[in-house]
Amino acid sequence: MKFLNGTAIVITLGALWPASAQTSTDSVLPKQIYGRVQVLDGSTIEFIKPRKIVRLAGYLAPRLDQIAATDSVEWPVGQVARAWLILRTLQHDVNCASVTTDANGTILAHCFVEETNLAATAIAEGIGYAFNFPGEPQVPAYFDIERRARGLGFGIWSDPKLTPPWNLKPDHAAAPAAGVDVRRNPGPRPPPSSARSSVTRQFPLRLR
């Protein structure tokens, strides 16, 4: 199992945040949430104050009970994803820029610890997948990051037979064959930076 080590990649928020996801028509949706968090699973956090549950937009971690096998060594890939997120956020304030809410009313957001984009970094290190459920905003740059992690065999990609979590039923029965990717294409790339709002150009992101 390989993880990203010592490599810093700087990209702009506009490259990770498509124009369709820059605004929300929901007046109740907070634009920003900031503070300490409790990690619920590899993709979801709960802010201690205010009490808000947030799922990382454009990202999905393995299920907590999933097991991967790398070179015949089994490891709890879902628990590793949760532990990774705990270590990234422990004793740090998390800053989330809300995008929208999902079908269950959970806030989708791009979340940072200082300049580090949590979802982008997790994908780069092979902790989880670039993913959006139907109707949710896509982040095309995440798929580009994922292709590099896949090619290098990082994390989840060290087990070619690991079934993506969206292909699993609750009881893990009758799941599609391993390796089947049901995700939609990431869609068109964002417009040039000159066409993006000034807000999206203010936040450089760092993967580390």
Q: Residue 17 corresponds to which tokens in the numbers above?
A: 């945040």
Is residue 67 within 8 A of residue 76, CB to CB? The reply is yes
Distance CA 125, CA 4 (A): 5
Distance CA 145, CA 125 (A): 9
Tell me which residue of 32, 9, 134 sits closest to 93, measured CA to CA.
32
Question: pLDDT per residue over 14-48, tens digit each?
Answer: 455 444 444 434 457 999 999 999 999 999 999 99
By CB atoms closer than 10 A (0-12, 13-18, 19+), residue 131 is buried
Distance CA 5, CA 151 (A): 16
Check whether 145 has a pLDDT greater than 60: yes
Mean pLDDT is lowest, of 2-6, 153-157, 173-177, 192-196, for 192-196
Check whether 196 has a pLDDT greater than 50: no
| pLDDT at res. 28 | 79
Whole-model pTM: value is: 0.74
| pLDDT at res. 1 | 59
Higher pLDDT, residue 175 or 183: 183
Q: Where are the beta strands (DSSP E) in the chain?
A: 9-12, 32-35, 37-39, 44-47, 52-56, 59-60, 68-70, 73-75, 94-101, 107-113, 116-117, 129-130, 204-207
Higher pLDDT, residue 58 or 199: 58
Distance CA 128, CA 78 (A): 9
Kindly tell me the number of DSSP H helices and DSSP E strands found in the chain.
4, 13
Residue 9 pLDDT grade (very low, low, confident, very high; cuts 50, 70, 90)? very low
DSSP 184: P
| pLDDT at res. 36 | 98
Q: Which domains does the chain have, with CATH numbers?
A: 9-19+29-162+186-207 (2.40.50.90)
Question: pLDDT per residue over 60-116, tens digit each?
Answer: 999 999 999 999 999 999 999 999 999 999 999 999 999 999 988 899 999 999 999
| pLDDT at res. 75 | 97
Distance CA 25, CA 35 (A): 24
Alpha helices in the chain (DSSP H): 13-16, 77-89, 118-124, 140-152
Is residue 204 within 8 A of residue 15, CB to CB? The reply is no
Question: pLDDT per residue over 160-174, tens digit each?
Answer: 999 999 999 765 433
